[in-house]
Structure 1
């Protein structure tokens, strides 16, 4: 199982804060640095200094890192015109030397849309847009250079697009689709994604989601083994119980409350939990780190958890 660092900068983080975590991610030997794509803080906290655009941030990190993969978990289809998003991601892929992955979802947080004047269609409407965006973006990326791409959908229309620029990765950067939807989400993952993510679930519920998306692959004649399966959880690791409690307190969480919704404990306990998800089929675990000032946390995970993951 690959371990990837995943942060939520809308809760309060500057570009420099994110750069420090990304550099530590690379230094510690983790596989990737991912960030959420949100514009409004959730829960406690004022969100200062304010949101940072995910793809502008990743463009900067692309030039200031050299090895780790970079991506979003996930960008919302409501935020950006898909043609512009295809250009942005392709450019960041070039800037990174081919290390970008695009997580794309329907969007769900209505308050951030209201706060920044972004349209928020109903759930079917958001999934309709996501469906068209997945087809449109991959269509732009895979159109041969020198040819034009046209798209005539319900929500988007492209006419005689040169379909440029091209990403560095061939045929295009990996796309991640995730969620717990029973029909449309598995179908979209099976058709367009390189990876399916089941986030913040128990190992048992994760296995149900994995089985569902693998069945969707078989339904369209795709080998399920070609779809990577991943998980995501808030992670709190301490060398002993006292440090676990201190790190939980630093993110305003109660250790007892985190037992069912997060992966928390000493290194041995965390390794055991992560391996449960590996047994369920996960090959990539996104470790959601909420205290971006605690870089020692990443050092501890790298030295005590990373070596024990199967």
Structure 2
């Protein structure tokens, strides 16, 4: 199983904070560094303020060398699909082909109000999201020298040169995720290389994975070509005191963390990850909420990752 570091910078982080986490994650062997795409803190003051996801990843692309970089998830409401395709392809070039795009419909109304971003009703957001996936992947997959056009209800692209192109072999992986029963699995089957279940139990993840496999089969896609992953909060300690301190630092109840996250002792973390592996996940995003605690990453890399096989 691959372990990836997943951060929530809107809760309060500078670029330098994120760089330190990304570098430590790279040094200790984590597969990827991902970040959320939000402009408003969810509890707390969020100081010193939000950082833009793709500006951050562009910087990290030049200041790291091997770790993969991406979003979980970029909000479709924040960006037009054509310029988003350009930005992500550029960061892919800047990183030497290490970028992945998690793309979602956008959901936090308050951050849209706070920064003047239109926030349509859910049905329209999802319709726009489906068209965004079509445009972004269509631009990237258009052969050099040809043009791309798309006529949707919300977005129209006419004779685009569809540049720049991603540099990584096979193109930039696209992640789709969520708990939707029909439209989300169908979009994943059509456009995504990875499907992610956010903060669910292993049993619920297994059910969602089954829906995506069925959706793949329905469109004639081999379900084995879909990477299945989960995202879970991380809180692991080598001792009871260390564990209690880490839970307190992120303002979470320890019993709740053990029940719902990758939490407890290293052995408990291995057991939890094993349950998700049995459910079908081959990759887990560990939500790291205390970005100053780099020793946390060291512990997981040394005591948890080697036991996952």
TM-score surpassing 0.5? Answer: yes
Shift of 1:241: 1.5
For structure 2, the 5+ residue unaligned runs are none
> Structure 1: 5+ residue runs without aligned partners?
none
After superposition, what is the alpha-carbon deviation per residue over 1:27-52, rounded to whole angstroms, capped at 9, x for unaligned? 00000000000000002x10011000
What do the CA deviations read for 1:91-119 (whole angstroms, capped 9, x no partner)? 00000000000000111111101101111
Matches within 5 A, 1:35-50: 35-43=35-43, 45-50=44-49
> Does residue 1:9 correspond to 2:26, yes or no?
no
Q: Secondary structure, in 3 states, of the residue corresponding to 1:103? A: strand
User: Shift in Å at residue 124 of structure 1?
Assistant: 1.0
CA distance in structure 2 between the partners assigned to 1:217 and 1:73 by the alignment = 22
Q: Is the 8 A contact 1:106 1:130 kept in 2?
A: yes
Q: Are positions 1:213 and 2:212 aligned together?
A: yes
- Cα deviations by residue, 1:130-153 (Å, 9 ceiling, x for unpaired): 100111011111111111111111
Distance 1:172 1:137 in 2: 12
Q: In the alignment, what sits opposite 1:243?
A: 242
Counterparts of 1:257 and 1:301, CA distance in 2: 20
Alignment of 1:1-310 (within 5 A): 1-43=1-43, 45-310=44-309
Q: What is the SS of the residue equivalent to 2:48?
A: coil
Distance across 1 between alignment mates of 2:19 and 2:193: 27
Greater shift, 131-140 or 258-267, is seen at 258-267
Structure 2: how far apart are the matches of 1:105 and 1:96?
23
How far residue 259 of structure 1 moved from its aligned partner, in angstroms, is: 2.8
Tell me how far apart the structure 2 counterparts of residues 22 and 170 of structure 1 sit (CA, whole Å). 23
Secondary structure of 2:231's match? Answer: strand
Q: Check conservation: 1:236, 1:263, Cα contact below 8 A.
A: yes
TM-score normalized with structure 1 length: 0.98
> Once the 2 structures are TM-superposed, how far is the Cα of residue 5 of structure 1 from its aligned partner?
0.3
- RMSD value over aligned CA atoms? 0.8
TM-score by length of 2: 0.99
| 1:199 shift after superposition | 1.4
The Cα of 1:172 is off from its aligned counterpart by 1.8
Superposition deviation, residue 170 in structure 1: 3.6
